[in-house]
Amino acid sequence: MNIYELTVEELYDKIQQKELKPSEVVGALFEDIDKIDETLGSFLFVNKEDAMKEAARLDDLQAQDQMDGELFGIPMGIKDNIITKGVLTTCASRMLEDFHPIYDATVMEKLNAESPVLMGKNNMDEFAMGGSNENSYFKNVRNPWDTDAVPGGSSGGSAAAVAAGLVPFSLGSDTGGSVRQPASFCGVVGMKPTYGRVSRYGLVAFASSLDQIGPLTRNVRDNAKILNLISGTHNKDATSMPDVEEDFLKSIDADLTGKKIALPDEYVEEGIDEEVAEAVKNAVKVFEDLGATVERVSFSDIKYVVSAYYLIASSEASSNLARFDGIRFGHRAEGAETLEELYKKTRAEGFGEEVKRRILLGTFVLSAGHYDQYYIRAQKLRSVIEADMERILEDYDMIIGPTTTTPAYDLGEKIDDKLQMYKDDILTIPANLTGMPAISIPCGVSSKNRPIGMQITGRHFAEAEIYNAAYKFEEQFNLHNELKEIQKELR
Question: What CATH number does the domain containing 78 carry?
Answer: 3.90.1300.10
Q: Please, which pLDDT band fits residue 125 given cuts at 50, 70 and 90?
A: very high
Give residue 131's pLDDT: 95
Please measure the distance between the N-terminal and C-terminal CA atoms of the chain and give it in whole angstroms: 14
Q: Please, which pLDDT band fits residue 60 given cuts at 50, 70 and 90?
A: very high
The question of whether 315 is a catalytic residue gets the answer no
Assess if residue 422 is contained within a domain.
Answer: no
- The per-residue pLDDT for range 342-359, each reduced to its tens digit, is 999 999 999 999 999 999
Q: How far is CA 210 from the centre of its chain?
A: 13
Segment 395-422 shows an average pLDDT of 96
Q: Report the chain's C-alpha Rg in angstroms.
A: 21
Assess if residue 51 is contained within a domain.
Answer: yes
Assess if residue 290 is contained within a domain.
Answer: no
Give residue 243's pLDDT: 74
Give the global pTM: 0.97
Segment 10-14 shows an average pLDDT of 98
Active-site choice (42, 115, 136, 154): 154
Give residue 42's pLDDT: 98
Assess if residue 188 is contained within a domain.
Answer: yes
Assess if residue 453 is contained within a domain.
Answer: no
Segment 352-368 shows an average pLDDT of 97
Q: How many structural domains are present in the chain?
A: 1
Assess if residue 420 is contained within a domain.
Answer: no
Closest CA to 127 of 330, 375, 364, 339: 330
Residue 52 has pLDDT above 80, yes or no: yes
Burial of residue 9 (CB within 10 Å: 0-12, 13-18, 19+) is middle
Contact criterion met (CB below 8 Å) for 30 and 161: no
The question of whether 298 is a catalytic residue gets the answer no
Mean pLDDT of the chain: 97
Give residue 1's pLDDT: 76
Assess if residue 109 is contained within a domain.
Answer: yes
Assess if residue 265 is contained within a domain.
Answer: no
- The per-residue pLDDT for range 427-478, each reduced to its tens digit, is 999 999 999 999 999 999 999 999 999 999 999 999 999 999 999 999 999 9
- The per-residue pLDDT for range 185-240, each reduced to its tens digit, is 999 999 999 999 999 999 999 999 999 999 999 999 999 999 999 999 999 999 99
In single-letter form, the type of residue at position 472 comes to K
Active-site choice (178, 184, 199, 314): 178
Give residue 242's pLDDT: 83
Question: Structural domain of residue 96, as residue ranges?
Answer: 3-251+463-490
Rounded Cα–Cα distance for residues 11 and 284 (Å): 33
Active-site choice (79, 121, 192, 414): 79
The question of whether 178 is a catalytic residue gets the answer yes
Contact criterion met (CB below 8 Å) for 93 and 126: yes
